[in-house]
Chain A
């Protein structure tokens, strides 16, 4: 199965700062990668699909990039509500797999 490795595990930043999250695949997934935001007690939220397409209603400060094996989620200027855990997920091959997550903390 395709293993997704996210780094760093934890990112400590302040509101207004830029966040750069990495997701590396064990083999090429083309552009078939999505990013999700998880907060305790809330439904997870789709942010990005197909590497760089913002989902409906997602603010422009969230940007996805990359292809093949290396992907990045960038949050240009952190808002208080952006502190959460972020996961990448590939749909290139079965089984679908997720990365281990990056926690963005204040």
Chain B
């Protein structure tokens, strides 16, 4: 049974860099789109971006200048870095596995429980 577990600081200061890790257990990183999605309090879900197992990545244009998603296959970990954070980046951050279909990324079939990050001085 594949499981995803997000980890990282729950509090980040404005202008600093948010760094989170997603640890994949019970399965391989290969052949999937490893994705970060967030949900600000009281709001809907926002796709942040993904790293494909091959190493390629794609980001939401609204965050592209500030975000980096990478993978460490030896550690079975996916990392998220979001720079120059503000209060607007306060959210629950989810790691999710995107399945590859005939036309690229299909849907997110496995999610972590999420980790809450607050941006505040």
The interface-forming segment of A10-18, A19-27, A34-42, A71-79 is A34-42
The range of chain A's interface size is 20 to 34
Q: Determine the chain A residues whose CB is within 8 A of the CB of B110 once the complex forms.
A: 43, 46
Among the interface residues A43, A56, A101, which one has the most CB atoms of the partner chain B within 10 A? A43
**A46-B107, A50-B106, A95-B62 in contact; A89/B45 too (CB < 8 A)?**
yes
The CA-CA distance from A95 to B50 in the complex, in Å, is: 11
Interface residue SS majority, chain B: strand
The CA-CA distance from A70 to B46 in the complex, in Å, is: 21
Q: Is A66 among interface residues, defined by CB-CB distance under 8 A?
A: no
- A55 CB, min distance to chain B CBs, angstroms: 6
Contact bitstring B61-77, A, C-beta under 8 A = 1, else 0: 11000000000000000
**A41-B113, A43-B113, A43-B114 in contact; A34/B107 too (CB < 8 A)?**
yes
Docked-complex contact A34 and B112, CB < 8 angstroms? no
- A32 CB, min distance to chain B CBs, angstroms: 8
Q: Is A62 among interface residues, defined by CB-CB distance under 8 A?
A: no
Docked-complex contact A91 and B105, CB < 8 angstroms? yes
Interface residue SS majority, chain A: loop
The range of chain B's interface size is 20 to 34
Residue of B with least CB distance to A55: B109
Contact bitstring A41-59, B, C-beta under 8 A = 1, else 0: 1111110011000011000
**A41-B113, A94-B58, A95-B61 in contact; A46/B108 too (CB < 8 A)?**
yes
Beyond A36-B108, A96-B60, A98-B44, list 18 extra A-B contacts (CB 8 Å): A34-B107, A41-B113, A43-B4, A43-B110, A43-B112, A44-B94, A44-B111, A46-B111, A50-B106, A50-B107, A55-B107, A89-B47, A91-B107, A94-B58, A94-B61, A95-B47, A95-B60, A98-B45
Q: Sort A-B residue pairs by CB-CB distance and give the 10 closest, nearest first.
A: A49-B107, A98-B45, A34-B107, A96-B47, A43-B111, A95-B60, A44-B111, A100-B44, A43-B113, A46-B109
